[in-house]
Chains A and B, each alone.
Chain A
Amino acid sequence: MAERFPPQVTLRDVSRAYGRSFALHRINLELDAGCITAIVGDNGAGKSTLLNLLATIDQPTSGDISYGEMPLAKFARKARHRIGWVSHDALLYGELTARENLAFFGRMYGIDDAQNRVFSWLERVGLADDADRRVREFSRGMKQRLSIARALLHNPQLLLFDEPATGLDQQGKRFVVDLLDDLRSAGRIVVVVTHDFDLLDELADRIVILRRGKLSFDGAPHQLADLVETYRAHA
Chain B
Amino acid sequence: MKAVIFRQILTIIAKDLRREWRTRELLITTVAFAVLLMVVFTFAFYHDDETGILVFPGILWVAIVFTGTLAISRTFQHEREQDCLRALALIPGSQHSLYLGKFVVNLIFMALFELALIPLLIFTFSVDVSDVLALHLLAIAVGTIGFAALGTLVSAMLVRNELREVLLPIVLYPLLIPLLIAGVQVTSALLTGGGWAEVGPWIQAMMAMNIAYFLLSLALFRWVLSAVE
Interface residues of A (CB under 8 A from B): 52, 55-58, 77-78, 80-81, 83, 85, 87, 89-96, 100, 104-105, 107-110, 150
The smallest beta-carbon distance between A122 and chain B, in angstroms, is: 17
Given A52-B229, A77-B92, A92-B82, output 8 extra A-B contacts at Cβ < 8 Å: A55-B90, A57-B90, A83-B90, A89-B83, A93-B82, A94-B81, A110-B4, A150-B87
Indicate which residue in A52, A78, A91 contacts B84 across the interface (CB closer than 8 Å).
A91
Residues on the A chain within 8 Å of B19, using CB: 93, 95-96
| Cβ-defined contact, A108 with B86, below 8 A | no
The smallest beta-carbon distance between B22 and chain A, in angstroms, is: 6
| Cβ-defined contact, B82 with A91, below 8 A | yes
- The answer to the question of B11 belonging to the interface, with a C-beta cut-off of 8 Å to chain A, is yes
| Cβ-defined contact, A58 with B226, below 8 A | yes
Shortest 9 CB-CB contacts between residues of A and residues of B? A91-B87, A89-B83, A107-B11, A80-B92, A77-B92, A95-B19, A108-B91, A110-B4, A57-B89
Cα–Cα, bound, A90→B84 (Å):
8
| Cβ-defined contact, A80 with B90, below 8 A | yes
Residues on the B chain within 8 Å of A78, using CB: 92
> Which of A85, A87, A93, A107 is packed against the most chain B CB atoms within 10 Å?
A93
Residues on the B chain within 8 Å of A55, using CB: 90
Provide the main secondary structure of the chain A interface.
loop
Q: Interface residues of B, CB < 8 Å — how many?
A: 27
Residues on the B chain within 8 Å of A105, using CB: 87, 91
Residues on the A chain within 8 Å of B4, using CB: 110
Q: Which residues in chain B, 48-99, are within 8 Å of chain A measured between CB atoms?
A: 78, 81-84, 86-94, 97
| Cβ-defined contact, A108 with B81, below 8 A | no
Indicate which residue in B11, B83, B97 contacts A104 across the interface (CB closer than 8 Å).
B11
Residues on the B chain within 8 Å of A77, using CB: 92-93
| Cβ-defined contact, B78 with A110, below 8 A | no
| Cβ-defined contact, B93 with A107, below 8 A | no
- The answer to the question of B192 belonging to the interface, with a C-beta cut-off of 8 Å to chain A, is no
The smallest beta-carbon distance between A73 and chain B, in angstroms, is: 14
Closest to B4 in A: A110
| Cβ-defined contact, A85 with B82, below 8 A | no
Closest to B101 in A: A108
Residues on the B chain within 8 Å of A110, using CB: 4, 7-8
Residues on the B chain within 8 Å of A90, using CB: 82-83
Given A83-B90, A90-B82, residue A107 in contact with residue B22 (CB < 8 A): no
Closest to A160 in B: B90
Cα–Cα, bound, A104→B79 (Å):
13
| Cβ-defined contact, B82 with A108, below 8 A | no
Cα–Cα, bound, A80→B226 (Å):
14
Residues on the A chain within 8 Å of B94, using CB: 108
Closest to A107 in B: B11
> Which of A77, A104, A108 is packed against the most chain B CB atoms within 10 Å?
A108
10 A-B residue pairs with Cβ-Cβ distance under 8 Å, sorted by A, are A52-B229, A56-B90, A57-B86, A57-B226, A87-B83, A92-B84, A93-B19, A95-B19, A96-B15, A105-B87
Cα–Cα, bound, A108→B23 (Å):
23
Residues on the B chain within 8 Å of A107, using CB: 7-8, 11
Residues on the B chain within 8 Å of A83, using CB: 90
The smallest beta-carbon distance between A80 and chain B, in angstroms, is: 4
Given A77-B93, A81-B92, A107-B7, residue A87 in contact with residue B22 (CB < 8 A): no
Cα–Cα, bound, A93→B229 (Å):
17
Closest to B79 in A: A93
Given A81-B92, A108-B91, A109-B91, residue A91 in contact with residue B86 (CB < 8 A): yes
Cα–Cα, bound, A77→B4 (Å):
13
Cα–Cα, bound, A110→B229 (Å):
22
The smallest beta-carbon distance between A131 and chain B, in angstroms, is: 16
| Cβ-defined contact, A91 with B8, below 8 A | no
